[in-house]
Structure 1
């Protein structure tokens, strides 16, 4: 009897979002018959265009509890069985992956069907910024001073409604309308951008990023696959699954109150946070020797300090409501109806026709415990529903969460609601939740630290805008 084995997967009975490796063994008395079936199966797999054949893999050996290398060793055989060629780079220092991505030409990248990060959210952020900073050409969002009050209405505290225009030249174009978001303006130089953009837009239609979780929180993986499992993520990569992912472009105009105006661009795939969120990251940087436990320790210390900060935030007023026929909020899920209605890719710098001459902005000013902008729901093991339960992977919106100064006990109750599945952390008078496409921020303090996907970013004055479906992930979406 001759036998051959087919490798496949099945969903976990206890957790539907988790995929489990399985094998099926077949046999026949005739060896040629077995070989014929093997050839037929191989031929059918070759015809599946969505499956990657060549991948560039970055492994962070120090991610999370230092399990990056072990995680890759555990999943590497799956790529081998799927006949996927992998070039593996084990990073040796901070920003190693960033430098490789920034120095790799588009010609060299075209050798691969995608890039895989074995690590956490911060490691993926490093790769993402190395990829986008030299390629993504888009008009900056307006600076805080670009927003001019034309007519101030009688608004109740804390929000002041204003009609605003953006004061800027053609070179500092205002925010694009939400219908134009998602455009890929990608290039390798500042020369003939149109030719380069066309080249890379075509590139983008099949190029994807994958994340195999080995970090401290792995929020992006939790939101895009529904679980924090290296095997599940690997299977979705080798099977060529795809979801689109919004990306926030964050532009720092001034690092400190006395520094010169000097734009500095960064990108975030999950979250940008100030106040409590920034302080936790700053505190945890001193405690890296503790591993992932440093976040709990740093979070406790920052909470006990209960620091608040004077700041002003302006944000674009939007009216989008993602509700079903019963008026309930629609959660993001596999084959999400909201994420799948994305517009065709359009360039974000095609001229004045792609910009709004007048945009309605709202403004909040006061003392804040924290300011957060969630690109996705940011689900993780400590916040099972995430910061915003109904945020989507690719709807073209940021969720701006403003936590005003309040009593210590009330803030603790808010954090407790975040930690509960089915909790309602937004149901407090001191919490503002705004769905927007862009915002600006100005600090009135001496120091200002932001958290971008778990990475420190000092900024006294910044602006942010979201690009709908700017990149694609090897993922199927969360099972809800």
Structure 2
């Protein structure tokens, strides 16, 4: 063996030994940290209910064991301990006996720990009462517990809250006051509230207000409100960084309190449409980094969001927007039926960049043309989604194989087919699976998509039901005509090609990623 090969082999062996040594040291540090976190900080006697318990407190959990008198028969009785993880505790208070109308003072009764209990994806508020009449003993435990639960930096202390009073059934203000505000108050979270008055109000406030003192932003509303605030957070980050052309990661996390009709983003990050669950994720500081998409046309930024629908989805929303006087469910069903009745494909060029071919460290314009894949043809629907898009109407999500932060989006392109086959495809979203097992449906994991309509063809603004009028022929418009797009549930009309690009972990949301919604509600429209 040559000296060069011997040296290479020796060097490789030394590198492997060094790696093993680093791994062993890291494992040792982890073990020491775990041992340190499990050290008992306090131990005392408290009553839980009517029974006395031996209670132990470490840095990560509270454990209580019933105190059982010795059995005269000598048989050993080993009681089962109770455990509460401190990561699930959002507030601790001193319990006192007070007379009716008494606001302060009173005899000390012990400590109350306010925590969350998990029930599937649902988080429920719960309380653990530790009874002890000793003032000194109680305050020692209270102060130690308070220090431990306020330690995590991800837990917010001051939040900017936006409430859309017009969302869905105009219940947002009630939802906030009844279900969210009490939890924020209990967790000592201060709030600065803005009740929005119009579309774009939250965006204008976010562009101008000082964000230094806030730990996060909260949106109480539907998908439209969420889309506006997500867009606003990224735009504000761009303004602060002096980078209007390039997306900048949002500085503050966003909490979403569902108060809309579908609440797609909320369902995707919480798994359930429940304001208490959403509020508990916020006060406990559960954070989830999420991918977002930028939407641009002819080099000009249009929006930042999570999902977009071209063709059927855009046409449905455009029709629904013209019937705002209807209830949301009636409006949705009307638009769905009308669009299916006048079903027609869009002739366009569809180009996409597969996720595995993404060159994320370079500027967008530096990607070589050969890496794009292009198809030309008739499409009934094209959807791009960087989140699963769970909702009560689609329990498994519109894009069930997409996660919140995998750096890619799902492209679902539905080619031209018969109305009956297209309806079969749609119905499978609300049942089990198999919505993509059609020859006319193609799916891809992508990092960018470009949609270029071949001709500016717009559908009629008003449909006449008079006999003899054509209901299938498109109307050729002028160059100013625009195609309807459904971007995060908001209607946008764009006349030219649209470029959609995925930006990994562009925003942080309060919540945790889910694989599938627990909702069993299905759409009855079809």
User: Residues 358 and 364 (structure 1 numbering): CA distance in 2 closer, same or farther, change over 3 Å?
Assistant: closer
For residue 59 of structure 1, report the CA deviation from its aligned partner: 0.5
Distance 2:397 2:253 in 1: 24
Distance 1:239 1:134 in 2: 25
* Structure 1 residue corresponding to 2:344, chosen from 307, 326, 329: 307
Deviations 1:323-367 (A, max 9, x none): xxxxxxxxxxxxxxxxxxxxxxx9876x99xx4445411112111
Structure-1 residue corresponding to 2:235: 133
- The aligned length equals 380
Structure-1 residue corresponding to 2:450: 440
Contact between 2:382 and 2:414, CA under 8 Å: does it hold in 1? yes
Structure-2 residue corresponding to 1:123: 225
Distance 1:132 1:282 in 2: 26
* Structure 2 residue corresponding to 1:474, chosen from 500, 510, 514: 510
Contact between 2:116 and 2:126, CA under 8 Å: does it hold in 1? yes
Distance 1:424 1:136 in 2: 41
For residue 290 of structure 1, report the CA deviation from its aligned partner: 2.4
Structure-2 residue corresponding to 1:425: 435
Distance 1:29 1:248 in 2: 57
Distance 1:124 1:34 in 2: 43
Structure 2 SS opposite 1:135: helix
Q: Which has the higher contact order (CA 8 A, sep 6+)?
A: 1
Structure-1 residue corresponding to 2:72: none
* Structure 1 residue corresponding to 2:492, chosen from 443, 452, 457: 457
* Structure 1 residue corresponding to 2:379, chosen from 339, 361, 368: 368
User: TM-score under structure 1 normalisation?
Assistant: 0.74
Distance 2:297 2:244 in 1: 21
User: Residues 358 and 284 (structure 1 numbering): CA distance in 2 closer, same or farther, change over 3 Å?
Assistant: closer
Stretches of structure 1 that go unaligned for 5 or more consecutive residues are 138-185, 254-261, 321-345
User: Residues 289 and 227 (structure 1 numbering): CA distance in 2 closer, same or farther, change over 3 Å?
Assistant: same
Larger Rg over CA atoms: 2
448-457 or 438-447: bigger deviation: 438-447
Structure-2 residue corresponding to 1:7: 114
Distance 2:287 2:431 in 1: 30
Q: Does residue 95 of structure 1 match 2:208? A: no
Distance 1:453 1:250 in 2: 11
Distance 1:373 1:102 in 2: 28
| TM alignment of 1:49-198, pairs within 5 A | 49-74=153-178, 75-104=180-209, 108-136=210-238, 187-188=241-242
For residue 249 of structure 1, report the CA deviation from its aligned partner: 0.2
Contact between 2:382 and 2:413, CA under 8 Å: does it hold in 1? yes
For residue 319 of structure 1, report the CA deviation from its aligned partner: 4.2
Distance 1:2 1:318 in 2: 59
Contact between 1:56 and 1:114, CA under 8 Å: does it hold in 2? yes
Distance 1:347 1:54 in 2: 35
| TM alignment of 1:279-428, pairs within 5 A | 279-293=315-329, 294-319=331-356, 355-357=366-368, 359-421=370-432, 423-428=433-438
* Structure 2 residue corresponding to 1:46, chosen from 119, 129, 150: 150
Structure 2 SS opposite 1:93: coil
* Structure 1 residue corresponding to 2:125, chosen from 10, 17, 21: 21
Deviations 1:118-156 (A, max 9, x none): 11121111112222235338xxxxxxxxxxxxxxxxxxx
Distance 1:302 1:135 in 2: 38
Contact between 1:133 and 1:266, CA under 8 Å: does it hold in 2? no
Contact between 1:310 and 1:445, CA under 8 Å: does it hold in 2? no
User: Residues 475 and 117 (structure 1 numbering): CA distance in 2 closer, same or farther, change over 3 Å?
Assistant: same
Structure-2 residue corresponding to 1:211: 256
User: TM-score under structure 2 normalisation?
Assistant: 0.68
For residue 375 of structure 1, report the CA deviation from its aligned partner: 1.1
Distance 2:349 2:130 in 1: 66
Distance 1:38 1:438 in 2: 53
Distance 2:229 2:146 in 1: 33
How large is the Cα RMSD of the aligned pairs?
2.4
Deviations 1:13-60 (A, max 9, x none): xxx000111111221121232222222221112222121111101001
Distance 1:61 1:348 in 2: 43
